[in-house]
Structure 1
């Protein structure tokens, strides 16, 4: 009898878990379509979607072996997500290219984490900076969009913008910084181009005076084609070093862990609505562009988010157009998956999308080739 009670109790626990997973999946499906200000908790379900979809698959297998109707309940919940699942897991079979490579643009987006300028070891700091610069040289992008870019005015060993211009032969650039006069330091975003910039500007965010998150754009001409490029870095959650204690090896106290979790949740709750508002501003600005659009940047949000959906509604995600897999771009201590993107207008195409294999920042660079489709 005791064995029967244990089995019944275990079955009840699995059923409760199944109901919980189904509900969480359905809420995750809603996250891309509901503004974070409407239901503040909803973005967290979008963020944790990978966990719940994996649990759902495991439970479905369990119920299949148990020959229970709960298998069909889980299956229906998964099917309800439809094409949303392929935002996180891309499956791609064909790859179209222009007739000649001359007709394509080599594009890079890279959050360089200030070139590791705050590393306490000068040797490691310089090694990180030099590794990032060497990687950019190997990719040799026509247009490079950087986030968390650091540049120190000359004379300086960290005149990174001028170094890239000299090494790569970039003749044109556009940037937006918060400037600190004392040490001649600049923090922000930078766009470098081998081809002429005929117009440029900023998309101003509401809190532009108090943030290091920006959006800039430039109209760039190559041959007969003109494309408007946006370089964006959307609202960060602004984690400080002490906020990472939860993920460190020395943090063993449960109280400290729980307080850190609450702090992370509070920071996320603040960041989600700010990112949503910033994304809406960029999308509205895009509608005024007289040219095809390419959007590069660190969105600080996953494919199951309201922010991602704003761009995905009118543009094409280059990774999903050309690649298969999950495509993890963030490699910091807080797992986030794919948060760095290159989007483009429907009249453009993409191929040879790559995610940097060896990370020199807490983000992996993403780059691909963009071309104008023949009408």
Structure 2
């Protein structure tokens, strides 16, 4: 039996419920609208988990007070079901089998954050790079796709390129740089144990950072697969921005003043990522081969970026993962911003996240095989 409460209170709760449902639906359909004009919808995408939680809360709330109002949440969730299934997957999660089947291609993606150590050292208490390389070695992947990869020809710094080629047995690599006298280079990299038969690079235009899209055509299983990896525009939060977020959370100082800089950076990054995503999509559509694309897209599943790049592709996490699939260890526990996407020519055999507090991103590994 429903518990009664005042008419005014009921009207207020209905109002907030309807408002939450409308914001939820805007977050669900925001990915279809370019952030150049509809940039504010990208903020709702970041809050998708909160809006979904509010709708679920109202379902249980109205069970007690007025069950018929549950329909507001149920209708909104039904209309936004596609967005929900892009955000979370609840299928049973089997153990990841370390031993590869002979006909599978194991792909590893990781934003390695320059391995956090640039200069050579013998400090056993701070050998982050060594632990990261050990994780990479133990995956025994056929293809490695790295973002924020670091390489140096200065003997005082780490030569990660040659180390991975020689010590980890990846003879084929695509990593581009220009000799500028600095002897240190950063960017994306693709390593492969299978032959690379063709390569190309797309440098995204300013005003974003000099991010790139790399592609390497790899001979595998009697056919050719186009492996692409990219790193899209980040928000570029600085130390003071993270401090502002903490002040907002604790309601210290001026919330308006702290929010202004943060929202400005979020808006700028969303617009630039939208432009970059369109360029990536155009490159994908020109491919004569099936595609595997990995990337730190710096955007959530309920975003224009993810929708543009992922349209018609398989998300390895959604196929074989479980839960929300957080890939970024900072700011929020709901940030899945790293992806492995594949053409439907592949079957996703298994998938895992490697949750280690080394880089600020978690590594992703998946096994793929050609569909018969």
- Give the TM-score of the pair, scaled to structure 2: 0.89
Specify the SS of the correspondent of 1:190: strand
* Distance across 2 between alignment mates of 1:116 and 1:32: 33
How far does residue 123 in structure 1 lie from its aligned partner after superposition?
A: 4.2
The question of whether the paired residues in 2 share the 8 Å contact of 1:177 and 1:189 is answered with no
- What is the match of residue 296 of structure 1? 294
- What is the match of residue 200 of structure 1? 199
- What is the match of residue 228 of structure 1? 226
Which stretch shows the higher mean deviation, 325-334 or 11-20?
A: 11-20
CA gap of 1:321–1:334, structure 2 versus 1, over 3 A, is: closer
Q: Deviations over 1:111-150 (max 9, x none)?
A: 011111379x994894221111111011121110001112
The question of whether the paired residues in 1 share the 8 Å contact of 2:63 and 2:70 is answered with yes
How far does residue 13 in structure 1 lie from its aligned partner after superposition?
A: 3.6
- What is the match of residue 138 of structure 1? 138
- What is the match of residue 217 of structure 2? 219
Specify the SS of the correspondent of 1:259: helix
- What is the match of residue 154 of structure 2? 154
CA gap of 1:62–1:172, structure 2 versus 1, over 3 A, is: same
User: Do structure 1's residue 85 and structure 2's residue 99 form an aligned pair?
Assistant: no
* Distance across 2 between alignment mates of 1:348 and 1:127: 37
Q: Deviations over 1:142-168 (max 9, x none)?
A: 110001112222313422222222221
* Distance across 1 between alignment mates of 2:92 and 2:253: 49
The question of whether the paired residues in 1 share the 8 Å contact of 2:112 and 2:149 is answered with yes
User: Alpha carbon RMSD of aligned pairs, Å?
Assistant: 2.8
Specify the SS of the correspondent of 2:235: coil
How far does residue 340 in structure 1 lie from its aligned partner after superposition?
A: 0.6
Specify the SS of the correspondent of 2:215: strand
* Distance across 1 between alignment mates of 2:69 and 2:281: 42
* Distance across 1 between alignment mates of 2:122 and 2:61: 53
* Distance across 2 between alignment mates of 1:176 and 1:93: 41
- What is the match of residue 321 of structure 1? 319
The question of whether the paired residues in 2 share the 8 Å contact of 1:196 and 1:220 is answered with yes
How far does residue 259 in structure 1 lie from its aligned partner after superposition?
A: 3.0
> For residues 1-375 of structure 1, what are the structure 2 equivalents within 5 Å?
7-8=6-7, 10-92=9-91, 101-117=101-117, 123=123, 126-177=126-177, 181-182=181-182, 184-207=183-206, 211-247=209-245, 254-255=252-253, 258-374=256-372
Which stretch shows the higher mean deviation, 13-22 or 214-223?
A: 13-22
* Distance across 1 between alignment mates of 2:180 and 2:329: 29
* Distance across 2 between alignment mates of 1:315 and 1:298: 16
* Distance across 2 between alignment mates of 1:315 and 1:31: 19
Q: How many residues align?
A: 364
Structure 2 residue runs of 5 or longer lacking an equivalent are none
* Distance across 2 between alignment mates of 1:49 and 1:248: 20
* Distance across 2 between alignment mates of 1:251 and 1:87: 28
CA gap of 1:123–1:255, structure 2 versus 1, over 3 A, is: farther
- Give the TM-score of the pair, scaled to structure 1: 0.89
Q: Deviations over 1:34-81 (max 9, x none)?
A: 110121211111111110000100011101211243211221111111
* Distance across 1 between alignment mates of 2:191 and 2:11: 59
Q: Deviations over 1:295-319 (max 9, x none)?
A: 0111111110111111221211111
CA gap of 1:29–1:251, structure 2 versus 1, over 3 A, is: closer
